[in-house]
Amino acid sequence: MEFSEVVRRRRMVRRYDPDRPVPDEVVERCLANAVRAPSAGFSQGWDFVVLTTEDEREAFWRVTTDEGAPSDAWLSGIRAAPVLVLCLSDKEAYLERYAAPDKGWTDRDEARWPVPYWDVDTGMASLLILLTAVDEGLGGLFFGVPPERQAAVKEAFTIPSGRGIVGVVSMGYAVPGPKSPSLRRHRRGASEVGHWGRFGVAREDH
């Protein structure tokens, strides 16, 4: 599939066919592309916990949802996904890398970072997973873990305390479903978000 077509087809898919497993080699290709994402100082401060068995996925939903609570359409659709990928960032890898001799920030002061690049880079790697999923004929979704649930997720999957859970990618074969009401919002075009030379200047005025 051409790259531009992959981008056009990418959607946040919330309903999956539970009876169509995703081959391991497809998941491996998603991860192989994820590690091609850029990272500051080539720190590569990311890890991915892949949940493919029913027990593994149920363990995730058990610690991220309230027992006995009714399941809404969103949750019911996502729970059918045959693959969940927990996308983790490692801040320490960046602080250590930039304390190296060729960088020289030996004080390891986080104030030197304009934004948390460990999370930014992991987010870019997550997008490559989503795009690869589309290229493989799959649907995917990126969603977050509530702050109050992150400790339980880390404990359930022996994730080191220093890792941050940036989000989760669900993957599987999409099934038709109602469109998100958010799609009623206008998609901002390139001419609306692009500012040439300075903020507020359109290309034709540049």
pLDDT digits (tens, 9 = 90+) for 42-89: 999 999 999 999 999 999 999 999 887 777 777 888 999 999 999 999
In a domain, 195, yes or no: no
Per the structure, the count of domains in the chain is: 1
In a domain, 187, yes or no: no
Q: Is the pLDDT of residue 192 over 80?
A: yes
Assign 178 a pLDDT band (cuts: 50, 70, 90). Answer: low
| Angle made by CA atoms 47, 159, 58, in degrees to the nearest 5 | 100
The predicted model gives 130-134 an average pLDDT of: 96
In a domain, 196, yes or no: no
Residue of higher predicted confidence among 141 and 77:
141
In a domain, 106, yes or no: yes
In a domain, 193, yes or no: no
In a domain, 108, yes or no: yes
Q: Is the pLDDT of residue 148 over 80?
A: yes
Check which CATH number belongs to the domain holding 51 and give it: 3.40.109.10
Q: Which amino acid is at 32?
A: A
d(CA 81, CA 140): 9
The predicted model gives 95-123 an average pLDDT of: 95
Structural domain span for residue 36? 3-177
d(CA 62, CA 8): 34
In a domain, 184, yes or no: no
In a domain, 99, yes or no: yes
State residue 69's pLDDT score. Answer: 73
